[in-house]
Amino acid sequence: QKGEQAKIIRASVYRGTRHLVTVAVDDKGRYVPGSEPPMLDAIATAFDDNSFAPPPGQNLPRVYDGIYRASLSYGMTKDMTALIIKLLASNVDFQAQLRPTDSLEAFFSVADSGGQATEDSELLYVNARFGDTQTRFYRFQDPDDGTVDYFDENGKSIRQFLLRNPVPNGIFKSGFGMRRHPILGFARMHTGVDWAAPRGTAIIAAGNGTVEKAGWDSGGYGNQTIVRHANGYESSYNHQSAIAKGVVPGAKIRQGQVIGWVGTTGESTGPHLHYELIVNGTKVDPLRIRLPGGKSLQGEALAKFEDERKRIDTLLNNQTPDQVASK
């Protein structure tokens, strides 16, 4: 009817021309088994040698959208899916188009009878291949300080010291260096990197640290947050539509934590994040500067991690393919 959104009321799945299953929506909005529909010419000829086959990869979504679709379709929670995005943020180009060879394999604990994740589920393992980059990591609780993190097979933290892009879904718009200022109209040093995204898109902290400033900046940055990290590093997030609750001076921040939302406050021509990285008081190019890596486990902690990695590998080897979320 006019004004109503289109919705699926019946769906059938085929393997080639062989019918596998049909489901339909009943009067109460529940999915129930349905009978096999009559064979249509479109189905009977779908796999003819002369039928049209689009080129591999055509119309595939972006990596960012693909991860969300795959994770949620395999019963993973939104929080777990967001965690995967955070953990892959330093290694994966989320704006790239998916390739047919890309894959995401994840293993989580405490699945319910339907194989869905529960509130008690923990993400134990991820093996991701996007483009030419493969990223594999395991969950481990460090016995020295009790913190939970994710490490590669050699015991090195998958988390980089700082992320280069705090808006995983953002599109690169302007780099570090001299440029003609879009509002002022003359050449001026652009002291950060601009990541465009719709207003309200989440901004995540580039690294662990302490909030140094969170509020309005009268110099054109609009809503601004500055986070102080270890070893003289600071990150600055500007033009935000709003700053997240609890992000106040002195607050402790974790890498990947949502600290605000993309906006266009201050001197801005459209919604984007102007991200700056400051090292010992000097603004540097976030995309080019060489950053320290994450921590590596050593000694007894490394030995315990290797035991945990072997335990998870054993669990993985005992699973059937449909018990491991994969895309």
Write the CATH number for 192. Answer: 2.70.70.10
Q: How far apart are CA 228 and CA 77, in angstroms?
A: 31
Average pLDDT over residues 131-155: 89
Residue-level pLDDT at 228? 96
Residue-level pLDDT at 322? 46
Residue-level pLDDT at 175? 86
Higher-pLDDT residue of 176 and 244 is: 244
Do 104 and 41 belong to one domain? no
* pTM of the complete model: 0.63
Higher-pLDDT residue of 277 and 17 is: 277
Position of tokens 């669990």? 315
Do 67 and 20 belong to one domain? no
pLDDT of residue 326 exceeding 60: no
Residue-level pLDDT at 181? 55
Residue-level pLDDT at 285? 92
Do 182 and 277 belong to one domain? yes
List the domain range (segments joined by +) for residue 320. 63-159+311-326
Average pLDDT over residues 42-69: 64
Do 10 and 44 belong to one domain? yes
Contact 121, 108 (CB under 8 A): yes
Do 201 and 272 belong to one domain? yes
Residue-level pLDDT at 182? 60
Two tokens, residue 136: 């594999």
What CATH number does residue 117 fall under?
3.10.450.350
Nearest to 291 by CA among 237, 209, 232, 204: 232
Strand, coil or helix: what is 300?
Answer: helix
Residue 136 belongs to what H/E stretch? Answer: strand 133-141
Residue-level pLDDT at 43? 60
Share of the chain above pLDDT 90, in %: 37
Please identify, among 31, 53, 75, the residue that sits at the C-terminal boundary of a domain. 53
Higher-pLDDT residue of 263 and 48 is: 263
Residue-level pLDDT at 155? 92
Q: Which residues, in sequence order, are CB contacts of 50 under 8 Å at separation 6+?
A: none
pLDDT of residue 174 exceeding 50: yes
Torsion sign across C-alpha atoms 213, 215, 221, 227: positive
pLDDT of residue 41 exceeding 60: no
Contact 82, 67 (CB under 8 A): no
For residue 298, is it within any domain? no
Average pLDDT over residues 192-208: 93
Do 137 and 183 belong to one domain? no
Higher-pLDDT residue of 327 and 119 is: 119
pLDDT of residue 269 exceeding 70: yes
Average pLDDT over residues 91-112: 85
Do 90 and 43 belong to one domain? no
Do 181 and 268 belong to one domain? yes
Do 197 and 258 belong to one domain? yes
For residue 125, is it within any domain? yes
pLDDT of residue 90 exceeding 80: no
Q: How far apart are CA 95 and CA 66, in angstroms?
A: 10
Residue range 272-308, pLDDT digits in tens: 999 999 999 999 999 888 887 777 888 899 999 999 9
Residue 37 — pLDDT band, cuts 50, 70, 90? confident
Higher-pLDDT residue of 246 and 43 is: 246
Do 67 and 111 belong to one domain? yes
Average pLDDT over residues 221-230: 95
Do 112 and 133 belong to one domain? yes
For residue 320, is it within any domain? yes
Phi-psi region of 131 (alpha: psi -120 to 50; beta: other; left: phi over 0): left
For residue 290, is it within any domain? no
Residue-level pLDDT at 49? 47
pLDDT of residue 186 exceeding 60: no
Do 205 and 277 belong to one domain? yes
What's the mean pLDDT when you consider all of the chain?
A: 83
For residue 188, is it within any domain? yes
Average pLDDT over residues 152-165: 89
The number of domains in the chain is 3
Average pLDDT over residues 195-214: 94
pLDDT of residue 121 exceeding 80: yes
For residue 85, is it within any domain? yes
Two tokens, residue 117: 């994740």
Residue 161 — pLDDT band, cuts 50, 70, 90? confident
